[in-house]
A and B are shown apart, each in its own frame.
Chain A
Amino acid sequence: MNKFAKIASCVLAGTMVLSTSAFAADTWKVGGIGPTTGGAAVYGQAVANAMQIAADEINEAGGINGYQVEINFQDDEHDAEKAVNAYNTLKDWGMQILEGTVTSTPCIAVAAETLNDNMFQITPSGSAQECAAGANAFRVCFTDPAQGTMSALYIGEHGLAEKVAIIYNSSDVYSTGIYETFVTEAESQGFEVVSVEAFTEDSKTDFSVQLQKAKEAGADLVFLPIYYTEASLILTQAAAMEYAPTFFGVDGMDGILDVEGFDTTLAEGVMLLTPFVASAEDELTQNFVSKFEELYGGIPNQFAADAYDGLYAIKAAAEASDLNPDMSISDICEGLKAGMTSITFDGLTGAGCTWDENGEPTKDPKAMVIENGVYAPME
């Protein structure tokens, strides 16, 4: 009896192994990479959660071309080397499509690998120019240079300021990239850049000097192409020295309202250029936001929206080119490339989004202002 049970269970286990491997060829294996721990974890977690929401929705609605989607998300701690390790882990798992990575520096490292393997890659939020340099790489968000140009254009066109100060992180490609194009575009706009100050990763607690200089230069707007963590300190320190210009940020500012313990009244009036607002009234956004809140708590940020759109863009492209998961990684990549450039995609981060052959999206940014503790669209 005992022996029989053992044999029976072995046989059963054997069939189960066989059946899972037989199923595996019939699912899309989409890998994700991003920082779920470390200083940028807010972004990685948002992306991982949103990808799961999108995958569940797609699976419920019958999958991509009739095949279910499987997600495997790996942590890279916002570190290039760990991101490449995560990529190799995912390849061992059998990944066919990569949605990632979340942050720019690791993304550049992984993009080199995916180009080698001709693995399709779409980064939800890697905004440095090089993230989508390869023919196999696309992105959902805007590039850093585009964000800088658009911010300068927006400030100029809406006459938000006459004198602008900039505080940026010179040790970060994201921040530096935005800063450079902002300054270039600013030359042809009707405002003057009166003060440019930097800080580095190693000295990002005291901003009194940078703010003091902006104040003395008479800046009525301070452009902050940086992440929200430092921005929250800048706002606190500006308030302490009673300096109240308009603060204008880009997508990295998204998240400032979620800093635990931060006095959000300090963020009142902060403007930011971002393609996604959780408070938008359309059905797509409402549905996504309520699901996200229910499953993970908290309001999804722009990175979550980018990730959600990324998976749906993969779906749209795969359907346009009629792909299936039995094809080789390289064939899937070629098919998705053709698909991506042919689709017009309506997502959370913009309607009528199209992609060119360089993998860059075309869509309109939205300007937001923080009012009463929430992001409100600006006129």
Chain B
Amino acid sequence: MTFLNYLISGISLGSVYAIIALGYTMVYGIAKMLNFAHGDVIMVGAYTVFVAMSSSGLPALPAILLSMAVCTVLGVVIERVAYRPLRGAASPLAVLITAIGVSYLLQNLALLIFGSNTKSFSTVVPLSPLKLAGGQITISGETIVTILASILIVVGLSLFINRTKPGQAMLAVSEDQGAAKLMGINVNGTIALTFAIGSSLAAIAGVLLCSAYPSLTPYTGSMPGIKAFVAAVFGGIGSIPGAMIGGILLGIIEIFGKAYISSQMADAIVFAVLIIVLLVKPTGILGKPIREKV
């Protein structure tokens, strides 16, 4: 019974990592860049919902839609202002460092606007927890919604990429930007679209992250962002189902590490597992060598 409880804790933590990892992997898969500011876009999304719900009294659904809109605009603006001018720069490091800069910029802006006081986020999930085995096992409504949302996003993104024209354009851009351009694909537009989708996913992730763990500060996004990045690499970066599997496995490993080895060492264990996976299978669980990214 205890084991099952830990497993459920792991899945619920992992589902949050998974939904964040989807955004990472989407942007990496297509634009071939690590958007380290992704975690902070999540934070912006969560603050938007917090403000919309607590100050303006909006109900949950419009607040989430508003937050998705805000994050989409933010993602496109970041891409246009900070990343696009550096695309094709001599070193791919330039854009990576810019991403770190954007991450700090967003954190400090949030610090200026909202202050550093922790805000307690009230959940947007109206579901009551699911009780099994006579109340000994509880699955929270947030976990159920997060997992369902991750699955929906995985299916939706896969359909979008494989069945629509803009999706096909994304695939082409991810294979070879130069060739895609020669074929008449608007590379900049496609990458902007990728960022738009990735950032609106970040808004959803932010809402679900803060519903599950209701503590909102300007730094809320950064550590889950890094863990989700690990999850994305773990699952095979660029692979959409991989991000989901990687996220959930990472959550389970973290919780089991805490429960059965040492609560202090949880992070060390998570990263040790990552190293081992990368040594054994450098492309991650579902990563296939080079081709078929996304």
State whether B116 touches A37 (Cβ < 8 A): yes
B226 nearest CB neighbor, chain A only? A202
Residues of A near B267 (CB, < 8 A) are 200, 202-203
Which of the segments B196-204, B213-221, B239-247 contacts the partner chain? B213-221
Complex Cα gap A3–B259 (Å): 81
> Given A202-B223, A203-B223, A261-B122 in contact, is the A212-B6 Cβ separation under 8 Å?
yes
Q: By the criterion CB–CB under 8 Å, are B13 and A41 in contact?
A: no
Residues of chain B within 8 A of A233, CB atoms compared: 213-215
- Chain A nearest CB from B137 CB (Å) reads 10
User: Would you call A206 and B263 a contact (CB within 8 A)?
Assistant: no
**A263 and chain B: residue at smallest CB distance:** B120
B36 in contact (CB, < 8 A)? no
Q: Is there contact, CB below 8 Å, between A260 and B119?
A: yes
Proximity string of chain A (323-363) to chain B, C-beta cutoff 8 Å, 1 when within and 0 when not: 00000000000000000000000000000000000000000
Whether B214 contacts A209 by the Cβ 8 Å rule is no
Q: Which of B111, B115, B120, B122: most chain A Cβ within 10 A? A: B120
Tell me, yes or no, whether B258 is within 8 Å of chain A by CB.
Answer: yes
Whether, in the assembled complex, A229 has its beta carbon less than 8 Å from a beta carbon of chain B, the answer is yes
Interface size class for chain B? Answer: 35 or more
In the complex, what distance in Å separates the CA atom of A295 from the CA atom of B255? Answer: 46
Does A268 sit within 8 A of B, measured CB to CB? Answer: no
Task: Bits for A245-284, please: 1 = Cβ < 8 Å to B, else 0.
Answer: 0000000000000111111000000000000000000000
A229 touches B13 (CB 8 A): no
Q: How many A-B residue pairs have CB under 8 A?
A: 97
Is A209's CB under 8 angstroms from B258's CB? yes
B194: Cβ under 8 A from any A Cβ? no
* Interface membership of B2, Cβ < 8 A: yes
- A198-234 contacts to B, CB under 8 A, are 198-200, 202-203, 205-206, 208-210, 212-213, 216, 229, 232-233
- B54 in contact (CB, < 8 A): yes
Closest to B260 in A: A209
Q: Which residues of B contact A170 (CB under 8 A)?
A: 264
B119 touches A259 (CB 8 A): yes
Q: A241 contacts which chain B residues (CB < 8 A)? A: 138
B117 A260 Cβ-Cβ under 8 A:
yes
CB-defined contacts of A261 to chain B, threshold 8 Å: 50, 54, 119-122, 214, 216
B62 interfacial contact with A, CB 8 Å: no
Any chain B CB within 8 A of the CB of A24? no
User: Out of A41, A209, A259, which one reaches B263, CB within 8 Å?
Assistant: A209
A1 at the binding interface (Cβ < 8 Å): no
Q: Cβ of A62 < 8 Å from any Cβ of B?
A: no
B162: interface (CB < 8 Å): no
CA distance A37 to B217 in the complex (A): 12
Asked if residues A209 and B6 are in contact (CB atoms below 8 Å), the reply is yes
User: Please, how many angstroms separate the alpha-carbon atoms of A242 and B136 in the complex?
Assistant: 10
Q: How far is the CA of A61 from the CA of B117 in the complex (A)?
A: 34
Known A205-B215, A212-B2, A229-B215; contact A260-B120, beta-carbon cutoff 8 A: yes
Contacts of A232 in B (CB 8 A): 118, 120, 215
Known contacts A37-B116, A208-B255, A261-B119: does B2 contact A200 (CB below 8 Å)?
A: no
Asked if B5 CB lies within 8 Å of chain A CBs, one says yes
Indicate if the CB atoms of A206 and B13 lie closer than 8 Å: yes
The residues of A that contact B135 with a CB separation of less than 8 Å are 242
A22 to chain B, nearest CB (A): 38
Complexed CA–CA distance, A258 and B115 (Å)? 14
Q: Does B186 contact A (CB under 8 A)?
A: no
Binding site for A on B (CB under 8 A): 2, 5-6, 9, 12-13, 50, 54, 111, 115-122, 129, 135, 138, 140, 213-217, 219, 223-224, 254-255, 258-259, 262-264, 266-267
Instruction: Give the interface of A toward B (CB within 8 A).
Output: 37-42, 170, 197-200, 202-203, 205-206, 208-210, 212-213, 216, 229, 232-233, 236, 240-242, 258-263
Given contacts A229-B118, A260-B119, 9 further A-B contacts (CB under 8 A): A42-B116, A198-B262, A203-B254, A203-B266, A205-B215, A208-B5, A240-B140, A260-B120, A261-B214
12 pairs across A/B with beta carbons < 8 Å? A40-B116, A170-B264, A200-B266, A202-B267, A206-B213, A233-B213, A236-B120, A236-B214, A241-B138, A258-B117, A259-B117, A261-B119
